[in-house]
Amino acid sequence: MTDLPPKWLTEQRIRQERELVLLVNVRSRRGARHYPAVRATLAAYGFTVTAEHLVTDPAAQLPALLPRILADRPRLLVVGSGDGTIATVVDHLAHTDTVLGYLPLGTTNNFGRSLGLPMRLRGALDVIARGKVADVDLGSVNGDLFANLVSIGVSAEVAGRTPHGLKRHLGRGAYAVTGARALLTHRPFVAEVSTADATWRVATHQLNIANGRMHAGTAIAADASLDDRLLVAYALGGPGRLSTMYAAAHQALTPWQPVRRKGYLTATELRISTDVPRLVDVDGEVSGTTPIHVRLSANALRVLVPLDFADDQIPGHPVVYPVRPDDAVHPGDAHRPDPGP
């Protein structure tokens, strides 16, 4: 992003001009309910909404709408949505000088949590008004950019099956309920994950490749970050269903452990193949099948974040959570990556 103006200058212009374009997915879990409050609060902060767009079918509407919005090169695009909508937004917003202001109005809101945004609407709007501009990493899968996570396995079944009504009533619990049902009949698969210098072969029900810090609303590891220049690949358990459940619970209960303690594979580029073609879940939306080529796109997106967000964080910086002793063996230890020849 060397051709773009410095972040401090972009931030200064946003504060001086106080103009934005507003895009809200009113089909997201809280989009329709909170839209009036979003408009009123932005006005109270002194922002002028130069254009607004309420979408009900992001997958169908955004590919044509976003190029029209960005043709005017708005300084700030505020998006209220869940993770699925963001995956489409970043595909168009990457490597431009338009800054994303994000309001997490979905179910799990992994992207918003990875940015350290408050989950309460007023707090997220306060970041729009008083936050700083950071540039964060994106990933790409077969050339399509994504913000947070690519998954193969049970999650792809869950992404397609979880009813919107259930998500509105149960929130993140809707994915757990649907996932447990899907796991009962799901068959394990064999995946081969290759980097420039390592190959990892694993039998599992769930394989994740993370650019962001969160999965299912919980931190993947203490030192995982949207700004660490790394992708993180890991399996949730082995071929047994109980190991998948145990690994998911262990993951949720150990956000303070660093990546190295969990035996996860880190790289900037990964090639993944499976025994038979498998659906691929990209930030909560099913998109294509394996094999896939996943790459890191460093500092690809400019976004408003809280003032305490660690911008330009690279491996070796202090972790977010204190690391505590843990002598338990993680089920993923049996599936650690094996060095290639």
Q: What is the pLDDT of residue 245?
A: 84
Q: Residue 164 and residue 161: Cα distance in Å, rounded?
A: 9
Q: Is 253's pLDDT higher than 60?
A: yes
**What is the per-residue pLDDT across 17-46, written as a single tens digit (0 to 9) for each?**
999 999 999 887 687 889 999 999 999 999
Cis peptide before 291 (omega within 30 of 0): yes
Task: Please state, in angstroms and rounded to a whole number, the distance separating the CA atoms of residues 97 and 301.
Answer: 9
Residue at 159 is within a domain: yes
Six-digit token string for 113: 């949590």
Q: pTM for this structure?
A: 0.83
- In the prediction, which pLDDT does 186 show? 82
Residue range 113-140: average pLDDT? 95
Whole-number percent of the chain with pLDDT over 90: 59
Quick one: 243 and 192 in the same domain?
yes
Cα distances from 97 to residues 78, 224, 265, in angstroms, run 14, 26, 32
Q: Are both 148 and 288 inside the same structural domain?
A: yes
| CATH code: domain of residue 280 | 2.60.200.40
Which one has a higher pLDDT value, 327 or 114? 114
Categorize the per-residue pLDDT at 285 as very low, low, confident or very high, splitting at 50, 70 and 90. confident
Last residue of a domain, one of 104, 121, 138: 138
pLDDT: which is higher, 276 or 339: 276
The CATH number of the domain holding residue 101 is 3.40.50.10330
Domain-located, residue 91: yes
Average pLDDT value for residue range 53-68: 94
Say if 158 falls within a structural domain: yes
Q: Say whether pLDDT at 321 is over 90.
A: no
Residues 167 and 276 placed together within one structural domain of the fold: yes
pLDDT digits (tens, 9 = 90+) for 209-228: 999 898 877 889 889 999 99
Does residue 335 sit within a domain?
no
| Residue 112 shares a structural domain with residue 213 | no
> Helix 241-253 crosses helix 173-185 at what angle (to 10 degrees)?
160
Does 93 share its domain with 205? no
Specify the residue for token string 């922002």: 47
Residues 149 and 277 placed together within one structural domain of the fold: yes
Domain enclosing residue 233, as ranges: 144-297
pLDDT tens per residue across span 129-182: 999 999 999 999 999 999 999 999 988 877 655 545 545 554 454 455 565 666
Question: Residues 110, 154: one domain?
Answer: no
Clarify whether residues 173 and 40 are in a common domain: no
Q: How many folded domains does the chain comprise?
A: 2
How high is the pLDDT of residue 180? 62
Q: Are residues 155 and 120 located together in one domain of the fold?
A: no
Q: Are residues 30 and 171 in the same domain?
A: no
Whether residue 306 lies inside any domain: the answer is no
- 38 domain residue, yes or no: yes
User: What is the reported pLDDT for 332?
Assistant: 37
CB 304 within 8 A of CB 131: yes
Q: Which residue has the higher pLDDT, 324 or 115?
A: 115
Residue 327 lies in a domain: no
Query: Is pLDDT at 10 greater than 80 in this prediction?
Result: yes
Whether residue 152 is found in the same domain as residue 91: no
71, part of any domain? yes
Are 108 and 81 in a shared domain? Answer: yes
Domain C-terminal end among 87, 119, 138? 138
For the segment 97-108, the average pLDDT, to the nearest whole number, is 92
Q: Using DSSP, how many helices (H) and how many strands (E) does the chain show?
A: 11, 19
Domain boundary (79, 105, 138) is at 138
What are the distances in angstroms from CA 199 to CA 164, 313, 315? 38, 27, 22
